[in-house]
Structure 1
Amino acid sequence: MEKTQNIKRLDHKTLRHSFHLWFWGALTCFSQEHMQTFGYMASMLPIIKKLYPKHEDQVKAIHAYTAFFNTNPMLGSVIIGTTASMEEARASGKDIDGETINDMRAGLMGPIAGIGDSLIDGTLIPILLGISLGMSSGGSPIGAIFYIIAWVLIAYFGQRFLYFRGYKLGDTAVSFLVGKQGAAIRHAIGVVGSMVVGGVLATWVSVTTSLKLVGTNGKVFLNLQSKLDSIYPGLLTVVVTLFCWWLMSKKHVSAIWTMLILVAVSFIGVLVGFFNPGLSY
């Protein structure tokens, strides 16, 4: 039977302290062996000290956070908030132990990492960079300043919202991220991200050819770039973009090797006269 006569509650100051330790120290003492284990443990220290006044109880409780942990730092704050809620329930006599907490975070850190990496690194950051590039035309520093400020604000308040939502709702907050509603939101953000990246591509990337066929009379009878523009403006840009996507997505070629391949293609293209060395591609 659950013992609920000694109900304990975490105050806002303790929760805020815990969140700030995660925000600033999620990657503390990061290594291939432990990853974010110590960052997780550090964020739970204010929780443990508040709920367990006795030192021996603190040592026993903190032992649950020595296990391996690694997830997306931004979305992972919802797991930290959920853990704080579970720890509060355990200190109040609920039927929750360290093994239950470990099972929760072990089961969630993988899905949250997958969602966070695709949503943050694959969608949000490209959107911000696309907007920043548009604001940096002519060498203006406004784009860089916008990116720094926007990213810091989104990262801080986004993580803070997820942390306290995780604490308030418990497992319900996590199920929202990995459930149908969360999938719909991620899909919508992905569509917006694709539109922004497409706009950046059309604005900043331009691949053209200088190949021309000249007749015996010295007159140009085929200007390949003009023909391509009449059929599909920007066709070479799309081809090069799809080629880069194919290399990195399907063949798992790194970005560095992809750039080296583009340099080699450009060099050969200039030698055979397909590209004009005086143009910027």
Structure 2
Amino acid sequence: MPSEPGDHEPDEGSSTADRALTRSDLTRAFWRYFWSFQISWNYERMQALGFAYAMEPVLRRLNPDREAYAEGLRRHLQFFNTSPFIGGPLVLGAAVAMEEAGAKSSAHGVKVALMGPLAGIGDTLVFALYNSVVFTIGASWALQGNIFGPIFTALMVLVPYFAVRRWQFFWAYAQGRKLAARLAGGALARLTEGATVLGLIVLGGFVPSIVKVVTTLTYRQEVTVQGRASTQEVQVQHQLDALAPYLLPVLVTAGTYLLIKKFRLKPVWIIALVAVVGVTLGWLGWFAPTLPEVAR
């Protein structure tokens, strides 16, 4: 008697174990990623739609059963966001290999484990280092009237970006098949835990530079100077800077994380909530991105 969907664990099913992907399937997945990964970006799930679109030909090949195919698409439509240049192709290639090996939950685990750390590493290498050098050189030549300036910049962006992403995808696919064969003894769980810790460290380091919020509130205290009593006005932010710099940005970040994890609010609602609260408190004059010059 044929089994109903859900009778066994989707992770260990045999529907994908006896099927292999062709080079055409892999190429199609890569090109889908290349053209759609950022175009389909949205505030709710960010790069998830592009990731699922790239995985679609793979899932169609490996899951002839319609229910298993639909379940795979739903699984890869979960929230995903990482560096599209160094990180995204690597995670995609590894996830494709896990799906082919029948390790479906491992494909999801690799995404969760690697997207955070690779986002920090990729964005730093690409935007902070590589792009800064390339665009500086190109701009300096362009300002001198040299046509080679924009040509140099275009070539140094288009060619390396494509080559690096293609290499990452196929390399991660080859390595992912080996990794899937050796997944045992909680190796993926340890990888996930370690990568999560690294991702939180990277995120914590970016909080002060990304989240800009200070309080403009003041309080008055009575002080005695040389026997004379007077009222002194104290900036709350100055006291916070002396005791716990960047406390408010950390609290804002922790609050949004709590809304996601505990109350399971969608990112769109959190963005709207932060915008409304920020505008309201700014209008009341309680908080601002920086202290006014007169208050320093």
Which of 240, 244, 250 pairs up with 1:232? 244
Encode CA deviations 1:206-254: one digit per residue, 9 max, x unaligned.
3211111357999642211111112211111111111111112211112
Distance 1:201-1:269 versus aligned 2 partners, 3 A rule: same
Amino acid at match of 1:74: G
Question: Over aligned residues, Cα RMSD in angstroms?
Answer: 4.5
> Scaled by the length of structure 2, what TM-score is found?
0.54
**2:208 alignment counterpart:** 202
The reply to whether residue 260 of structure 1 matches residue 258 of structure 2 is: no
> Scaled by the length of structure 1, what TM-score is found?
0.56
Which of 233, 238, 255 pairs up with 1:221? 233
Once the two structures are superposed, the pairs formed by residues 100-179 of structure 1 within 5 Å of their partners are 105=102, 108-109=103-104, 111-129=105-123, 134=128, 156-165=166-175, 169=178, 173-177=179-183, 179=185
Alpha carbons 2:217, 2:237 under 8 Å: kept: yes
Structure 2 Cα separation of the partners of residues 159 and 262 of structure 1: 37
DSSP 3-state at the match of 1:242: helix
**2:97 alignment counterpart:** 78
Structure 1 Cα separation of the partners of residues 55 and 129 of structure 2: 39
**1:24 alignment counterpart:** 31
Structure 1 Cα separation of the partners of residues 106 and 95 of structure 2: 6
The reply to whether residue 270 of structure 1 matches residue 282 of structure 2 is: yes
DSSP 3-state at the match of 1:213: strand
Encode CA deviations 1:98-147: one digit per residue, 9 max, x unaligned.
xxxxxxx3xx22x1342133134444235433555645999x968xx999
Amino acid at match of 1:19: L
Alpha carbons 1:212, 1:223 under 8 Å: kept: yes
Amino acid at match of 2:244: Y
Alpha carbons 1:214, 1:220 under 8 Å: kept: yes
Bigger Cα Rg: 1
The reply to whether residue 189 of structure 1 matches residue 195 of structure 2 is: yes
**2:186 alignment counterpart:** 180
Identity, % of aligned positions: 18
Distance 1:268-1:220 versus aligned 2 partners, 3 A rule: farther
**1:66 alignment counterpart:** 64
Encode CA deviations 1:120-179: one digit per residue, 9 max, x unaligned.
4444235433555645999x968xx99998886665334323433466x5xxx3143465
- Structure 2: 5+ residue stretches without partners: 1-20, 35-48, 77-91, 137-153, 223-228
Structure 1 Cα separation of the partners of residues 268 and 135 of structure 2: 26
Amino acid at match of 1:211: L
Alpha carbons 1:81, 1:163 under 8 Å: kept: no
What is the aligned residue count? 211
Encode CA deviations 1:246-280: one digit per residue, 9 max, x unaligned.
11221111222212212222222234331248769
DSSP 3-state at the match of 1:252: coil
Structure 2 Cα separation of the partners of residues 26 and 227 of structure 1: 49
Amino acid at match of 2:174: F
| Structure with greater strand percent | 2
- Structure 1: 5+ residue stretches without partners: 1-13, 45-63, 83-104
Q: CA deviation at 1:80?
A: 6.0
More off after superposition, 209-218 vs 261-270:
209-218
| Structure with greater helix percent | 1
Alpha carbons 1:76, 1:113 under 8 Å: kept: yes
Q: CA deviation at 1:41?
A: 7.0
